[in-house]
Amino acid sequence: KNQVEQSPQSLIILEGKNCTLQCNYTVSPFSNLRWYKQDTGRGPVSLTIMTFSENTKSNGRYTATLDADTKQSSLHITASQLSDSASYICVVSDRGSTLGRLYFGRGTQLTVWP
Amino acid sequence: EADIYQTPRYLVIGTGKKITLECSQTMGHDKMYWYQQDPGMELHLIHYSYGVNSTEKGDLSSESTVSRIRTEHFPLTLESARPSHTSQYLCASSESLTSGTNTGELFFGEGSRLTVL
């Protein structure tokens, strides 16, 4: 069964600290992996998209890694800010069709305290 | 910034009412989607469209219906709302994966939060 599991479910850190969020998946055949940021009451916004051949990608203070062999990805946030408080969603796409079906994780709820 | 808009953002209605959630995008994307999201849960695909006059049901069974008469417009309708329909509804769009270098990035609207009393 194709699944996307994220950990931890929730995380609280102090402003200025770094953190790492995890995503494990069983989706096959793999096409790409995406990380989205979703502020409370808003729609998700794309942070990174990585294909099979990419093992790291950065977007400002966000750095995503991908290990396609172990089917694991991480999202590292550097020097966290209060505005980083949000849900971070891992999404994996398969290559089963030209559309590419998307499998969503439940997200990690990050809270950054001052 | 994504040019995809949803209205209303918030809606509280009584049981049995008919409602339509509007979704419009100005990016010329062929593919559009409706997702349902409950707190702490993953997004579930309820409808999608590959283009004008094309609509398909998604993975999650839904009593709602959709239409795609114009490329930019993808409304979702509930003929008779019930409390079980209370949820966040997210509209999204993407370019076709077959169009060369794009990766089919998904652009989401801000969502419509529906509460049925």
Whole-angstrom Cα distance, residue A42 to residue B45?
17
Contact A43 B104 (CB under 8 A): no
Q: Do B106 and A34 touch (CB under 8 A)?
A: yes
Q: Which long-range contacts link B77-80 to residues 24+ away (Cβ below 8 Å)?
A: B77/B18, B77/B19, B77/B20, B77/B21, B78/B18, B78/B19, B78/B20, B79/B18, B80/B15, B80/B16, B80/B17, B80/B18
Q: What is the mean pLDDT of residues B13-22?
A: 96
- Of B83, B70, B62, the closest CA to residue B23 belongs to B70
Candidates B42, B46, B50: best to mutate against A (most CBs of A within 10 A) is B42
**Contact between chains at A102 and B107 (C-beta distance less than 8 A):** no
Q: In B52-102, which ranges are E strands? A: 54-57, 65-66, 76-78, 87-94
B106 and A CB contact within 8 Å: yes
Whether B108 and A45 lie within 8 Å, measured CB to CB: yes
For A64-102, write each residue's pLDDT tens digit: 999 999 999 999 999 999 999 999 999 998 875 555 678
C-alpha span between A71 and B105 (Å, rounded): 21
| CA gap B60, A102 in Å, rounded | 13
Enter the tokens of residue B29.
């994307």
Q: How far is A57 from chain B (nearest CA, A)?
A: 15
Q: CA-CA distance, A2 to B66, in Å (whole number)?
A: 27
* pLDDT for position B2: 64
Residue A54 C-alpha, separation from nearest chain B C-alpha, in angstroms: 13
- 8-47 in chain B: CB under 8 A from chain A: 31, 40-45
Q: How far is CA A97 from CA A19, A31, A39, B84, in A?
A: 35, 10, 31, 32
Chain A residues inside the 8 Å CB shell of B113? 41
**HSE of A42 in the Cβ direction (CA atoms, 13 Å)?**
14
Quote the minimal CA–CA distance from A108 to chain B in Å.
9
Write the pLDDT tens digit of every residue in B21-66. 999 999 999 999 999 999 889 999 999 998 999 999 988 878 899 9
Question: What whole-number distance in Å separates Cα of residue B107 and Cα of residue B117?
Answer: 30
Best of B43, B56, B59 to disrupt the A interface (most A CBs within 10 Å) is B43
Contacts of A104 in chain B (CB under 8 A): 42-44
Q: Report CB contact under 8 Å: A41, B105.
A: no
pLDDT at position A74, please? 98
With vertex at residue B85, the alpha carbon angle to CA B84 and CA B90, rounded to the nearest 5 degrees, is 140
For residue range B58-115, list pLDDT tens digits in order.
888 788 999 999 999 999 999 999 999 999 999 999 876 554 444 578 899 999 999 9
